Amino acid sequence: MPIQTTSKIWHNGNLIPWEQATIHVMSHVIHYGSSVFEGIRCYGQPHGSAVFRLPEHMQRLLDSAKIYRMELPFTLEELCAGAVDLIESNGVTPCYIRPIALRGYGEIGVSPKGSPIEVYIANFPWGKYIAGHGGADVCISSWNRLAPNTMPALAKAGANYMNSQLIHMEAEINGYQEGIGLDVNGLVSEGSGENIFIVRNGVLYTPPLSNSALSGITRDSVLTIARHLGFTVIEQALPRELLYIADEVFFTGTAAEVSPIRSIDRIVVGDGKPGEITKKIGDEFFGIANGLKPDRFGWLTPVKVNAGEPVTA
């Protein structure tokens, strides 16, 4: 789906017209992938709108920047306030928010020292990322996730998404909705843009971050919700074949939210329908995000915009 434009983009502390948020082709980021970014959702509520886990996302942006020695000239509070100002100025919710910090136009060498850091935040409507209500048909990718000590998997860096593109394109070409990457040792890591959970005998499992997975904010939300609902959750290395014999499997992510998986490599998961535990966790997640259940974990930042209709895929 093409990007639906809004009026303004936040650039280094100022709101500028969407069309003017451009960079030069010789910018460092274009040649070397030197960017870190975030994906955040703002949900419609019965009386306005709210951003889901805004400070946690902006903190991860700062952490990603720190890993890459990018000194962002904005504090956590300034970045959060910038996102709220932008959303209220554009007046568009529900929406997806894309902060990005990049190394701009300066020098052409690999060393980023002479290239200025630019920070942008955009917001725009974006619907369901994983289409279909009955669950996604996915495959195990022939591409592995990033090996430890090569590209840091905990940094949400633009360059990492070359690996995600390989996984996702291969899956799509072969008729699947998404691909799951194994880590360099053949253990389950994550989807091209999602963390993964399985349920077996009533217990939830997800790979630890040391299996080259991003520290997903939705993953953390699901861990919190599952424990709150009284489920046992275990973070442990998962062999590939455990996916095939799981009772339930689902993806989590800001774009994917909580998305059930129907089959993996054409092997049907459970009875092929979204499982009961996936549904319970999804209900709680969407209930909180949409303001229909209490914000018991303090995850919402209100914005003064009345929500329009949710965008569908």
Ligand X SMILES: Cc1ncc(COP(=O)(O)O)c(C=O)c1O
What residue ranges bind ligand X (CB under 6 A)? 39, 164, 190, 193-195, 214, 216-219, 252-254
- The least CB distance from residue 156 to ligand X, in Å, is 6
**96 DSSP assignment:** E
Distance of CA 177 to the CA centre of its chain: 16
**209 DSSP assignment:** G
Helices (H), the chain: 28-32, 54-67, 76-90, 161-173, 217-228, 240-244, 276-289
Backbone angles phi, psi at 83, to 5 degrees: -65, -40
Tokens of 298: 């303090």
- The least CB distance from residue 113 to ligand X, in Å, is 28
Q: Dump the DSSP string for 4-32.
A: ---SEEEETTEEEEGGG----TT-HHHHH
- The least CB distance from residue 192 to ligand X, in Å, is 6
Q: Tell me which H or E stretch contains 100.
A: strand 95-103
Planar angle of CA 113, 34, 68, nearest 5 degrees: 70
**Radius of gyration of the chain from its Cα atoms, rounded to whole angstroms:** 19
Question: Given CA atoms 107, 113, 114, 120 in this order, what sign does their dihedral have?
Answer: positive
d(CA 208, CA 71): 28
Catalytic residue of the set 113, 156, 279, 280 = 156
Q: Which is nearer to ligand X, 118 or 257 (CB)?
A: 257
- The least CB distance from residue 7 to ligand X, in Å, is 25
Distance of CA 256 to the CA centre of its chain: 7
- The least CB distance from residue 218 to ligand X, in Å, is 3
Which region, left, alpha or beta, applies to residue 162 given φ > 0 means left and ψ of -120 to 50 means alpha?
A: alpha
- The least CB distance from residue 206 to ligand X, in Å, is 11
Q: Beta strands 117-124 and 203-206: pairing type?
A: unpaired
**309 DSSP assignment:** P
Q: Decide if 156 is catalytic.
A: yes
Which region, left, alpha or beta, applies to residue 85 given φ > 0 means left and ψ of -120 to 50 means alpha?
A: alpha
Q: Which is nearer to ligand X, 39 or 94 (CB)?
A: 39
Catalytic residues, by residue number, are 156
